């Protein structure tokens, strides 16, 4: 029996290059989970092979801006001239189905979510050492050294945001990090403020017999 | 790497007959745990085979009452003419060694602990249904029906205390309940307010290089 039936909104964020994407993937490969991924909306053109509604919802700039005005995003941002955002209605649908919705997003987006969904769980993924993250950013090697330096500067700023999150999870090893996040989700379901209503219902039922 | 190195005080309580003792045992049989049990102090006489310092610390009534005056108990109570209590110094020693201390105690004691240790984690173990607990109390069969009725009345009162705890854990199956408690302990270690100091130390170390 699960006390808290409604799904939870779980935000996995952290400094650039910490490995949010790989940890999120490992999380979805765990047994017995009820995780759901939220498809983002974007104004960038689909790349070859990308499917609308699967990889992204592809919309026009006008449509995106109308949705911003209508307050229809949990969070959104503009990168290199394109908008990216999380549609609020899709997330709510899934939460109501009892699925946990995992959002893997940048720190700016994570803090927007906090303002809209007060009981969202914000997880800050951190490297075991700062150097480990620098090494990773350098090793990627697909970017110019100017780009790498820019990303390191960004990560350095993001390191300071930890106190705005509910949990700090060390990504020393991908599966360990995923296990820790899973433990957090299970624990959150058991929290008294989340589970007391279902618990009281159980007691009521018994009394009604 | 573990962010929060100090052990945590975890109180497992719940209504009479819910199975606190068996769940606690299952918890200690889990792999990779660092759980420690706190030996209680009592004024009752040792039974055959009981060892001082292992089963209980056996002390005189005078000594126990002096310790109450000296505020040396995390919690204590009197049952059928004997005192039982948790010595505060033994618990602190273990927490400082980085061990989690699990206290399996009655609801009255749990609420005393809350007052003394603000960051203790209070877990309320509940049966999947009220009837399941009644059945269990009746099936024990070692007690007169008067005793059973008294215990049911006590449990009924205790059911109402859930909101005073941090977590509500359903004991539908012993190992499930133990797993849930383990998840709670792992999640608590990752909580920002517990882990931020160690996290900031990591950042400092790197900067010092």
Say what the ipTM of the complex is: 0.86
- Check: CB of residue B190 under 8 Å from CB of residue A185: no
Q: What CA–CA distance (Å, rounded) separates B141 from B18?
A: 16
Q: What CA–CA distance (Å, rounded) separates A32 from A28?
A: 10
Give pTM, 2 decimals: 0.89
Give B77-116 as a DSSP string. EEETTEEEEEEHHHHHHHHHTTPEEEEE--HHHHHHHHHH
**Contact between chains at A130 and B186 (C-beta distance less than 8 A):** no
Q: Label residue B72 exposed, middle or buried (CB < 10 Å: 0-12, 13-18, 19+).
A: middle
**Residue A81 is encoded by which pair of tokens?**
């001239």
Which residues does chain B have within 8 Å of residue A1's beta carbon, measured at their own beta carbons? Answer: 128, 170, 172
Which residues does chain B have within 8 Å of residue A182's beta carbon, measured at their own beta carbons? Answer: 183
**Contact between chains at B168 and A209 (C-beta distance less than 8 A):** no
B168 → closest Cβ in A124, A180, A192: A192
- Nearest residue to B105 (alpha-carbon basis) of B179, B165, B53: B165
Q: How far is A76 from chain B (nearest CA, A)?
A: 25
pLDDT at B142: 66
**Residue A41 is encoded by which pair of tokens?**
């909306």
Per-residue pLDDT of chain A (209 residues), as tens digits, is: 455 568 899 999 999 889 999 999 999 999 878 899 889 999 999 999 999 999 999 999 999 999 999 999 999 999 889 999 999 999 999 999 989 999 999 999 999 999 999 899 999 999 999 888 888 888 776 667 888 888 889 888 999 999 999 999 999 999 999 999 999 999 999 999 999 988 888 777 655 44
Q: What CA–CA distance (Å, rounded) separates B142 from B31?
A: 34
Q: What CA–CA distance (Å, rounded) separates A18 from B50?
A: 53
Determine which of A2, A185, A187 to mutate to test the interface with B (most B C-beta atoms within 10 Å): A187
Which residues does chain B have within 8 Å of residue A124's beta carbon, measured at their own beta carbons? Answer: 192
B191 → closest Cβ in A166, A190, A207: A166
pLDDT at A2: 53
The reply to whether A191 touches chain B by the CB within 8 Å rule is yes
pLDDT at A188: 96
Which residues does chain B have within 8 Å of residue A188's beta carbon, measured at their own beta carbons? Answer: 187
A170 → closest Cβ in B1, B159, B191: B1
Main-chain dihedrals φ then ψ at residue B108, nearest 5 degrees: -60, -45
Q: What CA–CA distance (Å, rounded) separates B139 from B151?
A: 13
Architecture per CATH, domain A9-38+99-208, reads as 3-Layer(aba) Sandwich (3.40)
The reply to whether A128 touches chain B by the CB within 8 Å rule is yes
Which residues does chain B have within 8 Å of residue A131's beta carbon, measured at their own beta carbons? Answer: 206, 209
**Residue A119 is encoded by which pair of tokens?**
């009981």
Q: What CA–CA distance (Å, rounded) separates A173 from A108?
A: 25
Question: What are the beta bridge partners of residue B29?
Answer: none
B196 → closest Cβ in A128, A163, A205: A163
Q: At a CB cut-off of 8 Å and minimum separation 6, what does A110 contact?
A: A11, A13, A75, A103, A122, A165
Size of interface A-B (CB pairs under 8 A): 104
Per-window interface: B 160-179 vs A, CB < 8 A? 162-163, 165-170, 172
Instruction: Report CA dihedral (A21, A91, A201, A2) to the nearest 10 degrees.
Output: -30
A162 → closest Cβ in B131, B169, B196: B196
Weakly modelled stretches of chain B, pLDDT under 50: 1, 208-209
Q: For residue B183, how far is the Cα from the chain centroid? A: 16
Q: What CA–CA distance (Å, rounded) separates A7 from B182?
A: 21
- Nearest residue to B42 (alpha-carbon basis) of B84, B71, B81: B84
Per-window interface: A 87-126 vs B, CB < 8 A? 124, 126
The reply to whether A158 touches chain B by the CB within 8 Å rule is no
Give the pLDDT confidence of B88-118 residue by residue, as tens digits.
999 999 999 989 999 999 999 999 999 999 8
């Amino acid at each position: 029996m699960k006390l808290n039936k409604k799904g939870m909104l779980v935000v996995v964020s952290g400094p650039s290059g910490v490995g949010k994407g790989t940890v999120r993937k490992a999380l979805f490969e765990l047994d017995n989970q009820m995780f759901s991924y939220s498809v983002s909306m974007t104004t960038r053109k689909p790349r070859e092979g990308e499917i609308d509604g699967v990889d992204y919802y592809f919309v026009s700039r006008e449509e995106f801006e109308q949705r911003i005005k209508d307050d229809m995003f949990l969070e959104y941002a503009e990168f290199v001239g394109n908008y990216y955002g999380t549609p609020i209605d899709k997330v709510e649908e899934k939460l109501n189905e009892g699925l946990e919705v995992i959002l893997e997003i940048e720190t700016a987006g994570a803090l927007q979510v906090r303002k809209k969904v007060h009981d969202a769980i914000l997880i800050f993924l951190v490297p075991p050492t700062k150097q480990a993250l620098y090494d990773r950013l350098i090793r990627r090697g697909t970017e110019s050294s100017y780009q790498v330096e820019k990303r390191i500067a960004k990560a350095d700023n993001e390191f300071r945001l930890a106190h705005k999150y509910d949990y700090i999870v060390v990504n020393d090893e991908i599966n360990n990090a995923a296990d820790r996040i899973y433990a957090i989700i299970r624990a959150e379901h058991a929290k008294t403020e989340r589970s007391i209503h279902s618990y009281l219902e159980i007691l009521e039922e018994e009394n009604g017999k």
